[in-house]
Amino acid sequence: MKSYIKLANKFEEISNLNGTLEILHWDNAVIMPEGSSNDRARQFATINSLIHQIMTSSEVSDLIEDSLSRQNDLNEWQKANLSLIKHRWIHANAVDQDLLRKFTLAGTECEMRWRTMREDNNFQDFSIFLSRVVELSREIASAKAETLNSDCKYDALLDQYARGKKSKDIDIIFSELRNFLPGFLDKVLEHQSSKGAIKSPDKKFPIEKQKSLAKKIMKQIGFDFNKGRLDESMHPFCGGTADDVRITTRYSEDDFINSLMGVIHETGHAMYESGLPFEYRYQPVGEALGMAVHESQSLLLEMQVGRSREFIKYLSPLLVEEFGEDDSFEVDNLYRLYNKVERGLIRVDADEVTYPLHVIVRYEIEKKLIEGEIEVKDLPDIWNSMYKDLLGADVPDYKNGCMQDIHWTDGSFGYFPTYSLGAIYASLFYEKANSDLPQIGEQIEQGDFSAIISWLRENIHSKGSLYQEDELLEKVTGEKINIDKYKKYLTDKYLA
């Protein structure tokens, strides 16, 4: 036990350093003056290097080994914690410090170049920087695959974001979606257009009023403003720590929908963070269970709850109260507006039906890039032909095509599939929640989110990282991932 306690203390220290990084990141995105990035970069580098020093110290390595040999003295949570610690240790120690440094530098450079080159639609020059990032990512993936005894390099990256998940399992799921969605999309578009025109709001939405509406709804959902904040940033996110959850959004005077749905989405992430098990708060086992489950929490609140007819019934009078009467605020129109499906080019603007298709494009491409089956120069051709095939959309240029995303620039390969896994989990969780607590929908119509939130608290949030992803899904829903149910959810919602 003594070595386990010492080890847990080390990881508590790392947790405090990660919390510090969260605040620095938040500050960076929300507050920091533009000219101050040099000092901030130094702070990030120093803290990351201190975390790496702890993770790669012989002390931690010895403590892990000793703790593993005395596992029988540990309870279920402690065992899971030890296993997570070992998992992190493997990832941290698999890669040479020098390679990591080169990778971080290349990523920073590429991200910076992307900002201007995307504006200029300049793939030619951008591809030089991205190629360097891909090359180093491959080296990292190789090193990790070797340590993990995996014959798939991409899986070694995926494992960072979804422990134990394999691309061959994702392939099965995504091929089902690939078969289903394009045809389904045709039907949905036809169905939606058969219902006639949707009225768009025809007024300005003052930002102060949008803020106050967003906060009102966050409070109703259960967000605790005594331990969290809502602010503005270019790219909305949820950050901070469990006791200090900070979400952001961006506002436009011409449109309140994107911002409000963004706030509800981030509130889903926030509720997860604040609902994690208090007793293990500063340990890996007390953290959120990977990116797919995190995304399931935000999507459930945004898609299943926030874009439901029940929620719209609650929202409609609030909109009138805040912004005055508008024809488009009528419930049925608002519902259609909120669930409009389009063959769009931009992932972050995509609806629930097309979103998985955007993800599949990225997943298939990034897997091939990491495995060395394609090179960066091949990117635009593959991208454009996949968009034609899957979405029936013509990509007119790089900046609305393969250069639209910042995600790959810093070498973050391996987490795109978690977005769509999260969407599937969300639909499965919500179905189970409604069968457990049939009052959820009625409550939402009254602006009461207590049933759904307490169900999530009990079944998901409070479990932290005690189980693996597939295990959690099975414990909660009673079965393995069920794509038919997900298809049925989409069909019921979009072809009704």
Cα separation, 237 vs 295, in Å, equals: 12
State the number of binding residues for a copy of itself (CB under 8 A). Answer: 36
Dist CA 96 CA 232 (whole Å): 37
Q: Which stretch binds a copy of itself (CB under 8 A): 25-33, 308-316, 365-373, 467-475?
A: 25-33
Backbone angle region of 392, left / alpha / beta, with phi > 0 → left and psi within -120 to 50 → alpha:
left
Among 3, 43, 142, 462, binds a copy of itself (CB under 8 A): 43
Segment interacting with a copy of itself, rule: CB under 8 A, options 14-22, 206-214, 257-265, 425-433: 14-22
CA dist., res. 359 & res. 170, Å (int): 12
207 binds a copy of itself (CB under 8 A): no
242 binds a copy of itself (CB under 8 A): yes
Cβ contact 263:221 at 8 Å: no
Burial call 113-141: b when 16+ CB within 10 Å, e when fewer: bbeebbeeebbeebbebbbbbbbbbbbbb
* Tokens 């959004």 -> residue: 249
Of 28-36, 99-107, 205-213, 253-261, the window that binds a copy of itself (rule: CB under 8 A) is 28-36
Nearer to a copy of itself, 243 or 351 (CB): 243
Site for a copy of itself in 211-230 (CB under 8 A): 224-229
31 versus 105: smaller Cβ distance to a copy of itself: 31
Distance CA 334, CA 102 (A): 50
**The one catalytic residue among 34, 146, 208, 266:** 266
Instruction: Give the x-and-dash track for 277-306 against a copy of itself (CB under 8 A).
Output: -----x------------------------
23 part of the interface to a copy of itself, by CB under 8 A: yes
d(CA 160, CA 179) in angstroms, rounded, equals 28
Count of CB atoms situated within 10 Å of the CB of 49: 12
Question: Of residues 109, 135, 232, 243, which one binds a copy of itself by CB under 8 A?
Answer: 243
User: What residues contact residue 157 under an 8 Å CB cut-off, 6+ apart?
Assistant: 137, 140, 141, 144, 370, 413, 414
Does 40 interact with a copy of itself (rule: CB under 8 A)?
yes
Per the document, the length of the chain is: 496
- The first and second tokens of residue 222, run together, are 């259960």
Closest listed residue to residue 431, CA positions, set 393, 466, 391, 473: 473
User: Closer CB to a copy of itself, residue 43 or residue 147?
Assistant: 43
Nearest CA to 487 out of 261, 171, 268, 173 is that of 173
Residue 231 class from Cβ within 10 Å (0-12 exposed, 13-18 middle, 19+ buried)?
middle
Residue 42 touches a copy of itself, criterion: CB under 8 A: yes
In the bound complex, what is the minimum distance in angstroms from residue 20's beta carbon to a copy of itself?
5
366 in active site: no
The candidate with the shortest Cα–Cα distance to 242, out of 276, 280, 289, is: 276
Least distance to a copy of itself, CB of residue 306, Å: 24
Shortest distance in whole angstroms from residue 246 CB to a copy of itself? 9
Give me the half-sphere count of Cα atoms (radius 13 Å) on the Cβ side of residue 223.
Answer: 24
Decide if residue 414 touches a copy of itself (CB under 8 A).
no
Q: Does 33 bind a copy of itself (CB under 8 A)?
A: yes
Amino acid at 428: L
Q: Are strands 244-249 and 228-232 parallel, antiparallel or unpaired?
A: parallel
Q: Does 61 bind a copy of itself (CB under 8 A)?
A: no
Candidates 39-47, 170-178, 202-210, 404-412; binding stretch for a copy of itself (CB under 8 A): 39-47
197: tokens are 């025109």
Per CB under 8 A, does 17 bind a copy of itself? yes
Give least dist CB 85 to a copy of itself, A.
Answer: 17
Q: Using the rule CB under 8 A, is 232 a contact of a copy of itself?
A: no
Buried b (16+ CB within 10 A) or exposed e, 189-206: beebeeeeebeebeeebe
Tell me which amino acid residue 432 is. Answer: K
Segment interacting with a copy of itself (CB under 8 A) among 45-53, 89-97, 100-108, 196-204: 45-53
Quick one: 112 or 348, whose CB is closer to a copy of itself?
112
- Contact between 5 and a copy of itself (CB under 8 A)? no
- Minimum CB separation of residue 11 from a copy of itself in Å reads 12
Q: Which stretch binds a copy of itself (CB under 8 A): 83-91, 238-246, 292-300, 456-464?
A: 238-246
What b/e readout covers 436-450, taking b as 16+ CB neighbours within 10 angstroms?
Answer: eeeebbebbeebbbe
Residues at the contact surface with a copy of itself, assessed by CB under 8 A:
12-13, 16-17, 19-20, 23-24, 27, 31-36, 38-40, 42-43, 45-47, 49-50, 224-229, 241-244, 282
Residues recognised as catalytic: 266
